[in-house]
Amino acid sequence: MKIYHFRTLNPEAKAIVLPILQTENLSEDLRQIAEKYEINFAFLQQDFKADPKEVQTFYTSKNQKIILLGFGKKPDSSEVIRIFRTLIHQYQTKLPNELSIDLTQLPESWIEWASNGCLLGTYNIKLYKTETKAKAPLLSEEGVLNIISDSDSIEKLLEKGKATAETQMQIFDLMNAPANKKSPLTLVKWALASGEKYKYSVNVLEKQQLKSQKLEALLAVGQGSEHAPMLIVMEYRSPQATKTIGLVGKGVTFDTGGISIKSSSNMHLMKSDMGGAAAVFGAIELAAKLELPVHLVGIVPACENSVDGKSFKPSDVIGSYSGKTIEVIDTDAEGRLILADGLSYLVKNFKVDAIVDLATLTGSCISTLGYHAAGLFSNNDTLAQVLSEVADQTGERLWRLPLWDVYKEDLSSDIADVRNYSGKPMAGAITAAKFLEVFIENHPQWAHLDIAGTAFGDAEFAPQRAGTAFGIRLLVEFFGKYH
C-alpha cells in the first residue's frame, strides 16, 4: 500500500473516509455531509452517533463510497491510531484499492496518527502459516491511501507516522516470534542490521567478554540455556544533541522461571519477556531514522532463562558487574538480575543525563494496574513528571508508584549485599524497583518502567495476545520533551 498526500479532496475519489468527532456540532456536521452527498439527513442522524469505532457506509449517486468513522468525544492519540488501525484491518476486504481520508477539518497531528494507524492495520501476524491468502486490494502493491489535509507540515507528519509504523511492525514480529525462533543471537542480529541500515553503532559482548568483565548476574541467569547470553550496546548520536539519555531493556527471549518454574498455563506467553528490549530497539531505530537531535545509549542484556542441571538455583549467591553480591531467593525474579548488570554497565561506561529502563518485570504490576498502564518508578520528580505528561499524550499510560526506603528491608540478606526477592506476596513491583535502584550508582535521574501488563496484549489482528510495541512512541516523544 502506497501513501500519498493532497491538500484538497479529489471530487471523483472512489472511497472517502470522513472521521467524525462526537461534539455539540455533530448534528450540523451530519447535515452538511447529507447536503454535500445528497442523502437523507434524518436517516443519517438517526443511524450515526459518532461513537468510537462506529462505521456508517453509504453510496452517493455518483457511486462514491462514503465511510463515516466515529471517534467519540475526546480521543487521545492512541485511540485515534487504534480506530484507523481497526478500520483498515477489519474492513480491508470491503475497501477498494484506493481510499481517501479527509482530515481537512481536524488538527494536523491527526495526519501522523492516521498514517500510523492505517499502516498498522496492514500487519499480518501469521508469521509461520504455510497457507497464504491473496491480499485485499487496498493492502496490495497497487493499493493507494490518500491523506487529505491543507497543513503545511503534512509531508513531515506523514513520514513520521509511516516510519513509526514500519518500526513498530518489526517489533511486532520480534515480540510474536516463539522461543525456538528467538534467541539472544536473534536480538543481536536485529540490532546489528538496524544499526547498519540507520547508521548507529552496535557493539556486542559475547560470553567470554561477559566473563572477563564480570557481568556475573547476566551470566548466572543464562547459564542453564544452550543459547549463550550477550550484552548489546547501541549508541546513536546526533550532532545537534544537547542531552544524553541512557536506555536499558530487559531481553529475556524466553522465561521458564528457571528452577523456580512457572505454571504451565501461561508459560507460552513468556516469549514476550523481551518487551523492554523491544522498546529500546524500536526507540533507538526510530530516533536514528527520524534523525532526532538526541544522544542515546541503549543497553540490552539478552539471555534465556531455562531449566537445566546447570541452571542457577535458589539460595545461590552470585556476583554482579557492580561488584555487589546477590542472594538468589527466586530464579523467576531473573529480569532484575540482568537489568542490574545492564544498569551498572551503563553508568560505569557512559556519562548520561537520565536513565530509563523498561522491563516486563512483575506480575505484581499487572495485579495493580491491569493491562492499561505501566508502572513508573523514579528517584526524580521532574523526570517522572515529563514521562507522565508524555504518556498522557501518546496514550501509552504510566502510573507512578512509590520508591520509599521503607521497602529496602524486604531486600536485606543475611549472607550477601542484597537479595533478589522479598519472598512476600505483596509490593512485588515496588521491591523489584528498589532492587534495581541499588545498581544505578546513585544516579540522580533514573526511571524504571514496569511494562509487564502493556507489552503483550489484545490486538485487532490476533485472536490471542500479541506484541504491542509499547514504549516506542512514548520514548520518542520523551526525547523531544526532556531538557
What would the pLDDT profile of 72-101 be if each residue is shown by its tens digit? 999 999 999 999 999 999 999 999 999 999
Give how far the C-alpha of residue 370 lies from the chain's centroid of Cα atoms, to the nearest Å: 16
CA 451 – CA 365 distance, rounded (Å):
8
Predicted local distance difference test score (pLDDT) of residue 159: 97
Boundary residue ending a domain (162, 186, 214): 162
CA 352 – CA 21 distance, rounded (Å):
43
Q: Are residues 158 and 220 in the same domain?
A: no
**Binding site residues for Mn(2+), as ranges?**
250, 255, 273, 332, 334
Mean pLDDT of 183-196: 98
Q: What is the pLDDT of residues 408-446, one digit of tens each?
A: 999 999 999 999 999 999 999 999 999 999 999 999 999
Q: Are residues 470 and 361 in the same domain?
A: yes
CA 421 – CA 435 distance, rounded (Å):
8
Residue 205 lies in a domain: yes
- Scan for cell 484491518, then name that residue: 89
Q: Are residues 184 and 126 in the same domain?
A: no
Residue 170 lies in a domain: no
DSSP state of 114: H
196: left (phi over 0), alpha (psi -120 to 50) or beta: alpha
Please give the tally of structural domains in the chain.
2
Q: Are residues 191 and 130 in the same domain?
A: no
Residue 169 lies in a domain: no
Q: Indicate which residue of 135, 214, 237, 262 is catalytic.
A: 262
Q: Treating both helix axes as pointing N-terminal to C-terminal, what angle do 154-176 and 275-289 enclose, rounded to 10 degrees?
A: 150
Q: Are residues 39 and 116 in the same domain?
A: yes
Predicted local distance difference test score (pLDDT) of residue 134: 87
Predicted local distance difference test score (pLDDT) of residue 74: 94
Q: What integer best gives the mean pLDDT of the chain?
A: 96
Q: Which domain holds residue 120?
A: 2-162
Mean pLDDT of 359-365: 97
Q: Domain holding 113: CATH number?
A: 3.40.220.10
Q: What is the pLDDT of residues 235-278, one digit of tens each?
A: 999 999 999 999 999 999 999 999 999 999 989 999 999 999 99
Q: Domain holding 402: CATH number?
A: 3.40.630.10
Q: Are residues 257 and 117 in the same domain?
A: no
Q: Which three cell numbers stand for residue 284?
A: 533507538
Q: Are residues 140 and 260 in the same domain?
A: no
With bands split at pLDDT 50, 70 and 90, how would you rate the model's confidence at 376?
very high
Active site annotation includes 336: yes
DSSP state of 274: T
Cα atoms in the Cβ-side hemisphere of radius 13 Å centred on 148: 17
pLDDT at residue 462 is higher than 80:
no
Predicted local distance difference test score (pLDDT) of residue 464: 75
pLDDT at residue 482 is higher than 90:
yes
With bands split at pLDDT 50, 70 and 90, how would you rate the model's confidence at 288?
very high
Active site annotation includes 156: no
CA 247 – CA 295 distance, rounded (Å):
11
Predicted local distance difference test score (pLDDT) of residue 167: 98
Residue 171 lies in a domain: no
Predicted local distance difference test score (pLDDT) of residue 62: 87
Q: Are residues 126 and 236 in the same domain?
A: no
Mean pLDDT of 42-66: 94
Q: Indicate which residue of 182, 336, 397, 419 is catalytic.
A: 336
Residue 167 lies in a domain: no
